Every structure is written in structure tokens, then in C-alpha cells.
A = this chain, B = another copy of it.
Amino acid sequence: MAPNTAPSFRKKALPDPLPLDSGRELAGVEIAFETYGELNVDRSNAILVFHALTGDQFVASEHPVTGKQGWWERMVGPGKPIDTARYYVICANVLGSCMGSTGPASPDADGKPYAKQFPVITIRDMVRAQMRLLDVLGIETLHAVVGGSMGGMQALSCAANFPERTNRVLAIATTARHSAQNIAFHEVGRQAIMADPDWQGGAYYGSNTPDKGLSVARMAAHITYLSEAGLTEKFGRRLQDRDEKSFGFDADFQVESYLRHQGISFTDRFDANSYLYITRAMDYFDLAEEHGGRLANAFRAASDTRFCLVSFDTDWLYTTADMREIVHALNAVAAPVSFVELSAPYGHDSFLLDVPALDRVVKGFIG
């Protein structure tokens, strides 16, 4: 598990306790972040990129644990659609995560890891923490906020709750509300983690970590990130390193081998409790509910903000229909919004992968 061996992260301490939607507040919050490009003199060229559930701040630089390149290098960098030669790009590890920001593995007032004593947080809490980070960095208004999946939820939440902080909102492959099916898949993952005896009620820091449970959780979630057709094209029923079925329980099929690898490698870089807390925040997310039950109300103060929404035709996790509801809500408050459904074979993961049409949309909107 990453946190015990992780390198030191670039981070800022928030000066005041952070109020949370639960009614609790969290003192001593630190937010880890990376930046790319240069802030201009009038501090008007900052773009905040929000990461997804298992993402991190290393949007365009090497991940210090895995050694892999940044998760959105194709989108963020000099001359890229989000051009760091022109913009100052900030990406912060979300509250509750495990790459340097305060989360369940962080020490509480006693100096011991919070574990299950960490408060349950919301998407809005994550955004609130990042707005406080901007305060520390002396950035009042962003050129844009950008995010896919849970990053898109944060972008929408930012527009709803802090409309004065950004001129543009780009939300990709996301939803304004976690559905029953979304919650169900997350609940399977949480139950898999909590069923692992190594979870120990969450108090596993310093001993065995619930890698088996976390691995199963990741496997289940991973299926939802891919399209059925994409899985068929990538793997079909092809066998892994063999000519015949084994008539056993080894990973006969490539798709089994792939999923097992996804599960196991995930445990090297992610904390199981963070997975519990962040999935919970996503399940709690319902932007309409936060605003009197009507989604349009969420955007009432954001009617001067420019929105761009992008869905993918093969994304069955957060569908085009989900995103159309957001468009309708924005239309109801006469906010300027452009919406495009892109065709891509990769399912939900399309926002991270090679979809040139997305590059063009992002470049056009960010300007």
C-alpha cells in the first residue's frame, strides 16, 4: 500500500478548520497538489483540474509511486489542449485520498491514523478544500475548472457552490447524481473491502492491509469503466498464454488475467479506507438534492458561467442521458452551455484515452 512508503508531496496546510457537510469540521487539513506552467501577473490564467476516484494530482508528471506518466499527459502540457505554455494548471489530491492530502491514513490529533474516525465527506467538501487551497495560493478566479467522472462532479459542484470562482466549467463523462446502479456497484466494492479480515475495522495501518478486498473492489469497478464492445474487441474469449482451456481456476481468459492485474496493481498505490470514503462521497452526490430537489436551482447563481459538457456514446456508467439532464437544468437558468456526445469505443474510460475529438472540444472551450 502506497501511503507508508510514499515520497514527500508538495502540499499546503489550510489555515483554518474545514467545515464539512456532515456538520463536523476538520482541523489541520493539508492539500497536496501539483502545478504546471506559470501564473500570470494578474493571476487570471489558472485552471483547476479535478481528478477522478482513483486519480491524483500528477495530471501531467510522473507518478512517484508507480513511475507511470501523468494520467492526462495527452491533454495537459505545452501545446496540448490545456496548454501549460499559456495557462497555470493546478491539480490537487482530493480530501480523503491518499497521495498527500488529508485522508483516513493521516494522523489525527493523537498522532495516530484517523482510520474509521475520519469524517465521512462529500464532493462539496472536496471542492471546498480546494477553494481554500486557492485562497492560500492567492488565486481568486479561475479561467476554468475541468474534470472527468468524479472530477466532473467536482466541476459541477464548484459551479453550483462557488460560482464566482470560475469563468468556465468543463465536465466530462459525469453525472449530477449517483444512480441506484452506481451506488450498487460501489457498495459491492465496499463490502469486498470490509469483508477482508485484514481490513480490521479500518485500523490496519502499520499491519497487513486489505489488499484482497481492495483488489476485488477494483476489479468490479473496472468492468464499469469499459464498454461491452470494447471488452469484446480487446479480449473477446482469447486465452492467456495457453492454447487450450485448463479446466481449472487459473486465469484461462485474457480478460481474467487483465482484471486480476488491475486489481492487484491498484493495491500498490491506493489506500483501502480512502476507497471507502471517496466512493461514499460519490454515492452521496446529488446536486439537485443539495439545492431543494431541483437541479436547475443548483446553477441559478452560475448563469454567467460558460459550461461545456461531454459524454461518450459507450459510457454506461454515466450516460449521455445523465448528462442531458444537466444540460436541461443549465438551459432552465439560461446559462451558456455547449454539449456534445462523442463516439468512442472505450466506455467511461474514454475521457482518459486517445479520443482526438475530445482534444479538439477541450482546446476549443478552454481557448
- Asked if A237 contacts B120 (CB within 8 A), the reply is no
Is residue A6 within 8 Å, beta carbon to beta carbon, of the partner chain? no
Is residue A207 within 8 Å, beta carbon to beta carbon, of the partner chain? no
In the assembled complex, the Cα of A255 lies from the Cα of B181 at a distance in Å of 8
Segment with Cβ contacts to B, from A127-135, A208-216, A348-356:
A208-216
Partner of A197 from B116, B197, B216, B231 at Cβ < 8 Å? B197
Residues of B within 8 A of A181 (CB): 223, 226, 228, 231-232
- Asked if A179 contacts B232 (CB within 8 A), the reply is yes
Residues of B within 8 A of A280 (CB): 249
Chain A residues within 8 Å of chain B by Cβ, number: 58
Is residue A143 within 8 Å, beta carbon to beta carbon, of the partner chain? no
Minimum CB–CB distance for A291 against chain B, Å: 15
Minimum CB–CB distance for A29 against chain B, Å: 17
Minimum CB–CB distance for A263 against chain B, Å: 7
In the complex, per-residue mask of A275-286: 1 if CB is within 8 Å of any chain B CB, else 0: 010001001101
Copies assembled: 2
Minimum CB–CB distance for A146 against chain B, Å: 27
In the assembled complex, the Cα of A119 lies from the Cα of B246 at a distance in Å of 11
In the complex, per-residue mask of A260-297: 1 if CB is within 8 Å of any chain B CB, else 0: 10010000000000001000100110100100000000
- Asked if B219 contacts A187 (CB within 8 A), the reply is yes
Closest B residue to A285 by beta carbon equals: B237
A215-259 contacts to B (CB < 8 Å): 215-216, 219-220, 223, 226, 228, 231-232, 234-237, 245-249, 251, 253, 255-256, 259
In the complex, per-residue mask of A102-126: 1 if CB is within 8 Å of any chain B CB, else 0: 0000000000000010011000000
